Amino acid sequence: MLHHSLRTLVLAGALFIAPLAGNAFYIHLHGIVTEYFTGDAMKGVQVRLVKDSVDRETVFTMGNGKYELYLERGYDYQVWFYRSDMVTKHVRIDAASPVPGCAFGDMDPRRIHPLLG
């Protein structure tokens, strides 16, 4: 009998709200993708940004496992992490709903929702 072991991606990320060109505010999403059991950074993981159900951008992690994306306020996002020999994972980021008392009025890092891959 064949035994298949599935490795799992571990996602570490951070959200920052920052002004870029003009007066628009963007969310700076960045992090490191690591292997679950060893904690080693993972090269070649596809990080795909879906904005309001439409594919917007795809980046691949380098040898250090790092990725970086900029999100506009006012939208709902899913970020997918994929590599053919790994279990696919994704997270939902709600940047559309206003959050009372939040510094910029509409983004709160507590609104990151991990979803089962």
Domain ranges, ordered by start, for the chain: 7-112
CB under 8 Å to 65, separation ≥6 — which residues? 32, 33, 34, 40, 41, 42, 43, 45
Indicate whether 82 pLDDT > 50: yes
pLDDT at 3: 39
Under CATH, what is the fold of the domain 7-112?
A: Immunoglobulin-like (2.60.40)
pLDDT at 51: 94
For the chain, what is the largest distance between any 2 Cα atoms, rounded to a whole number of angstroms? 61
Q: Taking phi first (over 0 means left), then psi (-120 to 50 degrees means alpha), and beta for anything else, what does residue 6 get? A: beta
What is the 8-class DSSP label of residue 47? Answer: E
Percent share of the chain, pLDDT over 90: 44
